[in-house]
Each structure stands twice: as C-alpha cells, then as structure tokens.
Amino acid sequence: MKSQILVKRYTLGLVNAIKDEEEFSVLLKELSAFSELLDKHPKLKDILLNPFLPTSRKTLIVSELLTGKAVDEKAFRLIMLLVENNRLELLPDILKAFPEMWNEEKGVHAFEVASVVPLSEGQKKKLKEKLERLEKRPVILKYRIEPGLIGGLWIKRKNIVYDISIKGSLMKLQEIMSEG
C-alpha cells in the first residue's frame, strides 16, 4: 500500500512538472530506456537496489551512466531522486502509471478493451465515438485479445468494468439461477 502511495506521488510530481505533450513523450521514452537498461543488466540493477551499498556510491554510478547521454533534465532528476531515496524499484510502476495520470491530467480517459478477435478500424472508431459521447470527453482505447470471452467485449476504465461478452452474460445467468 505504501509503495502505491509513493508511486502516485512521484508520478503526480512528474506530471505536474511537464509543460506539453512533446515533453511527456521525451520523458516517457528516456525513463523507459533507463528502466530497460536496468532490466538488460541484472547485475547493475542488483547493485543499485542493494540496501547495503551507500547511496553516495549509487548516485555516482547512475550519474556516470547518464553523463554524456542526452538525457532530459527532468528524467535525470527523477532517476537521481529515486536513487537518493532508495526507491529505484518504483520506476517500473511509475512508468505504468505515468501515461494514465498524464491523460487524466489532460482530461482524457483511458479504456482497456478486450475482445476475442481484433476489431476492425470501423468498429474501433464507432466504439471510441460512443465512449466519448458517454464520457463527454476524449478517450484513448488500448486493445487486447482475450480468447476466454467467447464473444462480445470487455471494457475497463480504472475500477469500472463493462462486460458485454457472452461469457459475462452466461456468468450473470448462472448467478441468477443459483440464487433461485
């Protein structure tokens, strides 16, 4: 629970420091690149996450890694802040929350859409228009394939789920029948 609060605080601080979409894209790309670097070099990651290594050594290592690369000042500061506070392990979660929080800040709602088969461009357009009318604001849709649905759609935004799938309908029917 504490880490979720910290992730939200760091992410919100980063979002509030961004002035436009271009800067958002740059920061997302650079922070993702640093996270991927750590994933590709597990020994480096272990060193930076080691609680027994002095923070001064960690900051020196990260500073040397990033020096000479054209890293945005805000990305550099966030990485260094995470290292200095021994919270670098939060970076992947911050990266997951970053786009959604940025969109929310800009008044755009993000939805996850699951279907059995890929939707056509026409279907995607209709769905987007319908959700924008319902939400009365712009939306972003992320699509994925979910074979277990049998048919229909499963749409989620934060903790709200719209299950208009055959599987969902069958589960509701089963629930009603078991209540008797």
Q: Which of 103, 122, 152 is the last residue of a domain?
A: 103
Of the pLDDT bands very low, low, confident and very high (cuts 50, 70, 90), residue 68 is confident
Q: Are residues 82 and 136 in the same domain?
A: no
Of the pLDDT bands very low, low, confident and very high (cuts 50, 70, 90), residue 180 is low
Q: What is the pLDDT of residues 156-172, one digit of tens each?
A: 888 888 877 777 777 77
Q: Are residues 33 and 122 in the same domain?
A: no
Q: Which of 75, 103, 131 is the last residue of a domain?
A: 103
Domain total of the chain? 2
Instruction: Give the residue numbers spanning the domain of 159.
Output: 107-179
Give the per-residue pLDDT at 179. Answer: 80
CA dihedral sign of residues 110, 116, 119, 123: negative
Q: Which of 80, 103, 126 is the last residue of a domain?
A: 103
pLDDT over threshold 70, residue 1: no
What tokens does 114 get? 């699951």
Mean per-residue pLDDT, 30-58? 92
The structure's pTM equals 0.69
Q: Are residues 10 and 99 in the same domain?
A: yes
Q: Are residues 60 and 127 in the same domain?
A: no
